[in-house]
Amino acid sequence: MRPISKRAAGAVLAVVLALGLAGCGDDEPTGPKSNGVQEMEPVQALEAATKALEGLDDVTFRGTTSVTGETGVLKGAGELVVRSDDSCQSTFTSKKRGRLITRTVGKQVYVFADPGIMRGPLAYDAAKVASLRGKWQVAARPADRRCNLAELLPEPDRYATFEDAGTGDIDGTPVRLVSGEDDDGSPMTVAIATEGTAFPLEITTERGGASTFSLVAHDSGVAIDAPPKGRRATS
């Protein structure tokens, strides 16, 4: 018997696959399945979104936000990274003023600010700016400070304020929109994926100033470590 050539074998395989697929027309679709969020009440949808976040190893949100200080409101880019080991970091970046970073690790909170931030929103005097340039300030972590994977979502006692706000699409993923009041009573809208895991893909709020954050990564293995001792300001 003559061996089958690679081209002939490929053709045979193609026919077999085609026949196999034709015979499985009633199988379940292989794409993302509905997670039921679309049919839920707003409170249940928020509970599902919170559960989805709290089941992660780490989460990263990025977007636009603002910092309010003695000199007024400063708008810029924001990033929030939270790990399940109770460590977290928030970063605010202004094109004009620079960065403000708050990092919580273990029993300490570390704060780094570029000179423009110190002179602006923080309103530090010239001597303090000079002494803290390039340094991290260190403070004891408050007893009630917890790094929450669902930190951007409202507290559960606010869920009842939320109502249906329609549907949408974020980067090709259909979402359910629910709107209500954030922890300080300000307007808030959460866009929750209705296919796959019920992640909150976008959160907009007026809490502390207008902000919009999008979920950009999760379970990425990102590390949050204490700053080197040589870069910490002395008391």
The answer to whether position 126 is within a domain reads yes
Assess contact for 70 and 121: CB atoms under 8 A.
Answer: yes
The answer to whether position 48 is within a domain reads yes
The answer to whether position 216 is within a domain reads yes
Q: In terms of DSSP H, where are the helices of the chain?
A: 6-22, 42-54, 115-119, 126-132
Radius of gyration of the chain (CA): 24
The pTM of the full predicted model, rounded to 2 decimals, is 0.83
Across 40-65, b (16+ Cβ under 10 Å) vs e yields bebbebbbbbbebbeebebbbbbbeb
Query: Into how many domains does the chain fold?
Result: 1
pLDDT in tens, 72-112: 778 999 999 999 999 999 999 999 899 999 999 999 999 99
What is the domain range of residue 157? 37-231
pLDDT in tens, 106-150: 999 999 999 999 999 899 999 999 999 999 999 999 998 999 999
The answer to whether position 225 is within a domain reads yes
The answer to whether position 226 is within a domain reads yes
Specify the pLDDT at position 234: 79
Residue 7: band (very low, low, confident or very high) from pLDDT cuts 50, 70, 90: very low
CATH value at residue 109: 2.50.20.20
The answer to whether position 29 is within a domain reads no
Mean pLDDT of the chain: 87
Instruction: Find the helix or strand (DSSP H, E) in which 164 lies.
Output: strand 163-170
The answer to whether position 45 is within a domain reads yes
